[in-house]
Amino acid sequence: MKNTKELTCISCPMGCLLEVEYDETGVTKVSNQGCKRGEIYAIKEITDPRRIVTSIIPVRDGVEEMVSVKTATDIPKSKVQDCLLALKGLKVSAPIEMGQVILDNIANTGVSIIATKRVAKKTMNYYVIQTPIVPIGFGIEDGFVVRIDFRPTLAPNGIETTLSKDVSKQLIDYMLGSRKQLNIPYLLKGTPFQINVFKAMKDIPLGQTRSYQDLAQIVGIPKGSRAIGNACGSNPLPLIIPCHRVIRTDGKLGGFSGGLDVKIALLKQENILF
């Protein structure tokens, strides 16, 4: 069966968009917009074997557990997403013994999924506050802030703690303009590329902006402005990682997860006018 997948080539500085066709035998066609390294990268990305390591959540007596699982042998990369989808919908009853085969022939690969260890399931406590500019939600896991949302849609479930009170106050003060920097414990999550972009954004000084092109240069992909924009959009900790200070090369605002009205308000507080 023929499949099609879009990839962004990370083997060259241009960050070309590749359209790859492949089947059970491997890659059959690569449309690479002139990228000299695209075909080599696409073949490697699609066909290199790898072992899935992920987790599932079986239920025992109505209580969720988390169990780490892996494929017994390597599978082609082209089958990874199919396997993950199969696992996502998998219904398993606890208890599970370590080493137990959870599923045979996952996604028609002929490979088994095996339980490897139990994992302590982390619980995120979520809080919603009203600030002078916009409602904000934030999540805390194990004493660290792991996400900040503008106009949150998640329901709050957290019990008020000393940390949650402090985070709430700092966020409100920041949105008032009376606090210029957040000093809260946080845990940054993302792919290695995203983390590099987040670190570059974190270094943008108060009262200054950088373009997507500037950040592309900093992280070493001079023609990767689109990839930088995607990373900015996936920033889980806006305000801590000040993605509102990232604008387009032509001086226009660009996008923002909280909405352009919030981006403008934040920049005005830093004496950057649009």
Tokens 């966020």 -> residue: 171
**CA dist list (Å): 194 to 51, 215, 229, 233:** 23, 12, 10, 10
Eight-state DSSP code of residue 155: P
Give the phi and the psi of residue 222 in degrees, each rounded to 5. Answer: -55, -30
Burial class (CB in 10 A: 0-12, 13-18, 19+), 177: middle
Eight-state DSSP code of residue 107: G
What is the rounded CA–CA span in Å between residue 222 and residue 216?
5
What is the rounded CA–CA span in Å between residue 34 and residue 258?
37
| Residue positions annotated with a catalytic role | 243
Long-range contacts of the stretch 12-17 (C-beta < 8 A, 24+)? 12/36, 12/37, 12/38, 13/220, 13/221, 13/222, 13/223, 13/224, 14/223, 14/224, 15/221, 15/223, 15/224, 15/226, 15/227
Residue 258 near residue 134 (C-beta atoms within 8 A): yes
